[in-house]
Amino acid sequence: MEDLYVNYRRYEDGDNAYDDMSQKVFNAGQGAFCPTYQNRTAPCQASCPSGHDIRTWVNIVARRIKPTQGLSWQEFAFQRMVEANPFPAVMGMTCPAPCQTKCNRNDVEGYVGINAIEHTIGAWALANKVALPKPAQESGMTAAVVGSGVAALSCAYQLRRQGHKVVLFSTAERLGGVMVGPGFPQDVVEQEIQRILDFGGIEVRREAAPSGDFAAVFWSEGLGGQAKPGDFVPDKAADDLPTTQVGQGWRAARDMGASMRGEKPIDRPRFDVHRFDLLEDLAVHDKAPAAYPGGPVGNSDTEPFSVHNYEDRSRDRLVATRDLFLAHFKTAPRHERAAPTEPLAEAEAIKESRRCMSCGMCFECSVCIQYCPVGAVERVKSGERSYGRFVETNYAKCIRCQICKDVCPTGYIQMGLER
């Protein structure tokens, strides 16, 4: 009977004689393109309505990204999560997880347990009473947010992160909207809302509509009919999931912040989510490139103002399974929670996060270095190395054979500046 099971073998049994590979390799470089390293958006992130930078915090938990500023890996992951979503414990317990449905690992043996990892870090932060990070500086401006639901709380929180004071207007008996209804863990909901109020700078007024002068006003869905020209209302949503409302809140707060600073609203990218920003990361680690002096420059790859080989295509490029080299990944069963209310043990969370294939971002496996036939792929110098800056190509040696691209498990290497 024909063998129908799926595997990733490239050779049949007994297929152990090979041609002269040097001829194949060295004659293969007919293309014009050398490799470049492209950060693209992973499908988990693209499908998360709250706009989480999932790949980054999963890889912090996997210990592939080292914490900065003396933080524990749990707190570092938590800080990355709450850039998008101030309710990681609630969402980890209740979200239907469209991120998992779209996870590329479904094409191996099953999705990464993103929800369980989020829950585990969210629960750890509550158990350890970790506060939300304070804004870097105060803007001196105040915004109004009308409503008590998730979008209103998310918007108030994001405005506060930007350094604005917020007055939240609501006559609801309890803040939280849909989260104070059935199906949500009320003690966890209360703790995560209280953490936002403990942030400081958010005043709750038991009034139905804003009174006073505000630099910008946000109206929750359902109250938006009262908005005046220039006020802000949430994006239209196809559902009323809390995770969707979290995303509505931060996108509104971003537009409000731009308006309050007198800037134009940003052009929304195709994937309007939180993304890893290499330049920001390099700056945090005192490795920012020098300022561009202006004018034409030859051999920019060796100039101190350039980040050689790196392209950020995450605004509009997605990494599909076909872009990965799946043969690299051994099958591994998912580490499940005993119950949706119980987070994973930390060791289990780390093991689960290591199932992530880091789609679209280098995870420092060194395979490209090992397989390059002419030694053109090199490690970035240790003083300049960081997440996303692990390898680079010496173009003087590269013969354009594409082997590094073919063997890169994460789809991080692409040939040429465009696909």
d(CA 38, CA 73): 26
Among the listed residues 124, 199, 363, 387, the single contact to ligand SF4 using CB under 6 A: 363
Which range, of 133-141, 153-161, 366-374, 393-401, touches ligand SF4 by CB under 6 A?
A: 366-374
Which residues in 328-340 are b (16+ Cβ under 10 Å) and which e?
ebeeeeebebeee
> Nearer Cβ to ligand SF4, position 256 or 408?
408
Among the listed residues 359, 401, 403, 415, the single contact to ligand SF4 using CB under 6 A: 359
Residues 83-112 vs ligand SF4: string with x where CB under 6 A? --------------------xxx------x
Which candidate, 207, 221, 202, places its Cα nearest to that of 142?
202
- State the pairing for strand pair 310-312/202-205: unpaired
Contact 407, 368 (CB under 8 A): yes
- State the pairing for strand pair 377-379/391-393: antiparallel
d(CA 49, CA 272): 9
* Residue 331 contacts ligand SF4 per CB under 6 A: no
Instruction: Name 37's bridge partners.
Output: 310, 413
* Residue 190 contacts ligand SF4 per CB under 6 A: no
Among the listed residues 123, 367, 372, 415, the single contact to ligand SF4 using CB under 6 A: 367
Contact 44, 84 (CB under 8 A): no
13: tokens are 């049994």
Which range, of 39-47, 199-207, 232-240, 334-342, touches ligand SF4 by CB under 6 A?
A: 39-47
The one-letter amino acid at 103: C
Residues 204-243 vs ligand SF4: string with x where CB under 6 A? ----------------------------------------
User: Total binding residues for ligand SF4 by CB under 6 A?
Assistant: 29
Contact 121, 352 (CB under 8 A): no
d(CA 318, CA 335): 27
Residues 246-275 vs ligand SF4: string with x where CB under 6 A? ------------------------------
Q: How far is the CB of 309 from ligand SF4 (least distance, A)?
A: 10
Q: How far is the CB of 414 from ligand SF4 (least distance, A)?
A: 10
Q: Which residues contact ligand SF4 by CB under 6 A? A: 42-44, 54-55, 58, 103-105, 112, 114, 356-359, 362-368, 390-391, 408-410, 412-413
